[in-house]
Structure 1
Amino acid sequence: MADLPMYFPSMTDDRCEELADEITASGDLRSPEWRRAVLDTPRHEFLRGGFFRREDGGGRTGWEPVRPGDEEWLPGCYRNESLVTQIAGTVVPTDLDGRIYRLPTSSSTLPGLVVRMLEELNVRDGMRVLEIGTGSGYSTALLCHRLGDETVTSVEVDEEISGRARVALGTVGHHPDLVVGDGLEGHAANAPYDRLIATCGVLDIPAAWPAQVRPGGQILATVGGWLYSSELAGLTVGEDGTATGRLLGGQVSFMLARPQTPPPLGVLPDLGDGPERESSVPWDVMDDWTARFVVQLAAPAAQRFGLSLPEGELNVLLDVESGSWAALRRDKGRWIVREGGPEPLWRQVEDHIARWRADGSPGLDRFLITVAPGRRTITWAARP
């Protein structure tokens, strides 16, 4: 008797329909064109190399491989979840048995977010799209289904990831222009584009992106920073090349583009140096997503971490490049801060948070963004 296939087409058709229904119910999938794309695009074909399952224990986060043939692989492919596909820049699920304790570097984004972003693009037939971050190729396939292969260019920095995506896309019948390169530079050879969409996070909108999008065209990208508060930004490119728009809300998070990942902390400064004072802003302001975004605007090159000392927990904000730092500790209900380096990091944080609160603590959907050559500005509109 011949071996049975691992799955049947009708089974995956049903799973695609269940996934489309779930994304529709969430409000992310709104149009019949994108629903048809989800129904006709089998996500499991883009996860043939497997994915990693998160395992937390002992205060550490580890990752265990899930591969085709494992009982949970096919159902997992159709969950509305992000699935990690690469660890530490090179490790894929077929490389190991057991658990790995390193940081994820590539994933298949949760389908609901992919579709929400595609809906936000407001595409029309015949439009040319540049996608930054091919990843697994699933979002690329949805774009090809909606607009046609010849209109889609997708850039991926990792040659192996791009190669796997090319195979998966070919399997489902799509052959867009796949480019291996630095997505922060866009791809000028196929410009101008009507739309640009980034499936990685960025610290700033690179100058190359508005320059490669035609006036009236749109850019959709997640803007964030090293404090890991981020948001989806929708911008329209003007005749002068300036891109303006707003943050769209929803606490969208992507892995940062690899060239923009934070530098190692290196040797720490003497955090006991300098005078102390009481802070007007508590460290736990970082627990609020929007407030942390405001802190990020105040200290855009800073990273945060904690140190466990005999006298208690010390919370640190450090700008590695400039050497500026702030260290906060709790003392009898008060927050005490000490700062060092050329810039008063925490004083800048206090000023930004005070202005934001005076304006009614507006949500990120009231933040405005302007990107011009050599300049990026993010402001907020006060609550009425």
Structure 2
Amino acid sequence: MTSTQNLAQPAGTTELLQAVSRYLGRDVAPEWRRAGEAAPRHRFLPHRIWLSDDDALEPCDREHDPDRWFAAAYADEPVVTQINDGQEPDDPDDAWPSSSASAPSIVFQMLELLDLTAGMRVLEIGAGTGFNAALLAHRLGDVNVTTIEIDPVVADLARANLKSNGYAPAVVCGDGSLGWGAEAPYDRVVATCSVKRVPYSWIRQTRPGGVILAPWYDEWICGGLLRLTVGDDGTATGRYTPDSAFMLMRTQRRDLLLFRDVVMDDHVPAESSTTLDPWAVADSAFETQFALGHRLVDLWYAWHHDPDVEGVKTRLWVATTGGGSWAAVDWDGTENAERYTVWQHGPRRLWNEVEAAHQWWLDNGRPGPARLGLTVTPEGHRAWLDDPANAWPLP
């Protein structure tokens, strides 16, 4: 850092906290403001980060481009801190983010949603750079904070960052989906990665009345914060807060490429048509897609523009995560089209399921995340609308 940048650090933190306040629509709570001032964000970033440039990830080194690096550190934006699980690809275009520093506005929103009080004990899933653990340790004390990270290199970075900034929470290298029973029970469990399903180990390791906060992910769309309260009976139930997007927990990743793994040359699909505009379900508002994802459960989609098929301008593919069934909906380029050609293959008629889910959404007043909830028991997950009594299983 140049001397000018060193002098600008307090101002950078102040401006960043002001940006967070604008995002929240209120001032950052005093206890979290003090924590943010005590743990400047740039001190937790590695010397090399990756920034978006025309939808590609471009490396930015503090030594070679300190001004850009410093600006990224104090922007209210996520910063990619690792690509491809630490294995840089031969082709830069193949880079994908595998660890990051979350946008500060989301960090502070989640900290406030935890509703912490002095003496509470917290387990963090995903140490990342250590920044979030530092904020928690400043608020609660080192002894009350445990953070677990699956990647040993990232865990070492978090541990070093925390130590160099005067913090010493427990940093564990391990599988966060298992929690960390050695320090259980906890008053709060907070994940900095998204989950498709809440590991029951987290519930088992949380005190009755405790809270679990985790970004949610389903195959249809990623987003939403799930806040569960653990009951005396070993179940946990709660609602969602929009909107957030986090990297998926590594142990819940699925490597499935639609065109390679699902559609085979010997498939003979059934042809039909639909009046449901494919953009109404797969290019609609986040709130719409979030609700649909809770009904469609194991379905995901991909757009294929100009697919080199005669008479098809755009094709929407829908498939099961297991790849056993798929559907394709074709648009021929006609403006204000009223019907679309549908192709379906497999034991399930997926577009029929999409139509049913969309009709459910209409019939129930177009619900968004605020009306949806989740209950987790030892037997599994049940999503619900408005009330836990109005539930359906999430396999």
Q: Same fold (TM over 0.5)?
A: yes
Q: Which amino acid aligns with 1:27?
A: L
Which residue pairs with 1:87 in the alignment? 83
Q: Tell me what 2:393 maps to.
A: none
1:276 aligns with 2:271: yes
**For structure 1, which segment, 323-332 or 230-239, has the greater mean C-alpha deviation from structure 2 after superposition?**
323-332
Q: Which runs of 5+ in 1 are unaligned?
A: none
Could you tell me which residue of structure 1 aligns to residue 53 of structure 2?
55
Matches within 5 A, 1:217-296: 217-249=210-242, 251-265=243-257, 266-270=260-264, 273-284=268-279, 285-288=281-284, 289-296=286-293
Does the 8 Å CA contact 1:86/1:106 hold for their aligned counterparts? yes
Maintained 8 Å contact 2:150/2:174: yes
Q: Distance in 2 between matches of 1:358 and 1:35?
A: 44
- Aligned residues: CA RMSD: 2.1
Distance in 1, matches of 2:178 and 2:47, equals 28
CA deviation after TM superposition for structure 1 residue 39, in Å? 1.2
The secondary structure found in structure 2 opposite 1:201 is: coil
Following the alignment from structure 2 to structure 1, what is the Cα–Cα distance between the partners of residues 256 and 199?
23
Matched with 1:134 is 127
Q: SS where residue 73 of structure 1 aligns?
A: helix
Q: For residues 64-98 of structure 1, give each alpha carbon's deviation from its aligned partner in whole angstroms, at most 9, with x where no partner exists.
A: 11111312111210111001111111147xx99x9
* Percent of aligned pairs with the same amino acid: 35
Q: Retained in 2: the 8 A contact 1:299–1:345? A: no
Shift of 1:24: 1.7
Residue in 2 that maps onto 1:42: 40
Compute the displacement of 1:294 (Å): 3.0
d(CA) in 1 for partners of 2:29, 2:169: 23
Q: Secondary structure at the match of 2:50?
A: strand
Equivalent residue number for residue 391 of structure 2: none
C-alpha displacement at 1:192, in angstroms? 0.4
* Corresponding residue of 2:199: 206
Counterpart-to-counterpart distance in 1, 2:301 and 2:95: 19
- Output one character per residue of 1:121-161: Cα deviation in whole Å (capped at 9) or x when no partner: 00000100010111111111111111111100111111001
Provide the C-alpha distance between the structure 2 equivalents of 1:100 and 1:300, rounded to a whole number of angstroms. Answer: 31
- Please point out which of 180, 190, 195 is paired with 1:187: 180
The number of residues matched between the two structures is: 371
215 and 280 in structure 1: CA distance in 2 versus 1, 3 angstrom threshold = farther
Residue number in structure 2 paired with 1:148: 141
Q: Structure 1 counterpart of 2:33, which letter?
A: R
TM-score for the superposition, normalised by structure 2: 0.88
Q: Runs of 5+ in structure 2 lacking a partner?
A: 388-395
Q: 1:196·1:209 contact (CA, 8 Å) conserved in 2?
A: yes
Q: Following superposition, which runs of at least 4 residues in structure 1 exceed 6 angstroms of deviation?
A: none
Cα deviations across residues 33-60 of structure 1 (Å, max 9, x unaligned)? 001111111111111323111122xxxx
The equivalent of 2:392 in structure 1 is none
Q: Matched residue of 1:222: which SS?
A: strand
Q: 1:323 to 1:167 in 2, by over 3 A?
A: same
SS in 1 for 2:197: coil
Cα gap change, 1:91 to 1:100, in 2 (>3 Å): farther
Query: Is residue 291–residue 368 contact of structure 2 (8 Å, CA) maintained in 1?
Result: no
